Amino acid sequence: MPSHDVTLEWINGPTRTVAVDADETVLQATERAGGTLPYGCRTGACGTCVGRLLEVDGVTKADDRTGDGRAVDVDDAFTYRRAPRALKPRHQDDGYVLLCIASPRADCRVAVGSQVQSELVDNPWK
C-alpha cells in the first residue's frame, strides 16, 4: 500500500515524521504510530486539528520551484475525505489543512499544535 511521509513540526518543539497510508488520515496515522495531535470532532468541523503546510516534496511555499509560477498549495499535498467545513477558502489558500480528515498525496512538512490553531482563531483559554 503506498504511503507518504508527513513530518509534523511543533513550533519551538519536537518534530516527528509519520508514514501515512493512502487509506488513512494524518491523525489516524499519528495515533497508529503512538503519537498525539490535538483534535476535537474528527469530521473537519471544529478546526482543532489544523496544521499549516510548510513544504511539499521538498518545495516550500517561499521557494516557488514548481516552474509554472505558482506556489505549492494544500491541493498539491492533501486530499480530503469530506469538505473541510472549519476552514474558509482564504485559510486553505494560506496553507492551512485539517489533519483529522486529510490524507497526503505527497511527502510534506506541516506545522502543528496550539500555536497554529491560534493563528486562525483567538483562544480564550491561553
Question: pLDDT confidence of 23, banded at 50, 70, 90?
Answer: very high
Instruction: Please give the pLDDT value at position 64.
Output: 52
85-123: b (≥16 Cβ within 10 Å) or e: ebbeeebbebbbbbbbbbbbbbbbbbbbbeebbeebeee
Kindly give, in sequence order, each residue whose CB lies less than 8 Å from that of residue 90, ignoring residues fewer than 6 positions away.
Answer: none
Percent of the chain whose predicted confidence (pLDDT) is above 70 = 87
pLDDT digits (tens, 9 = 90+) for 42-81: 999 999 999 999 999 888 866 655 555 445 688 889 999 9
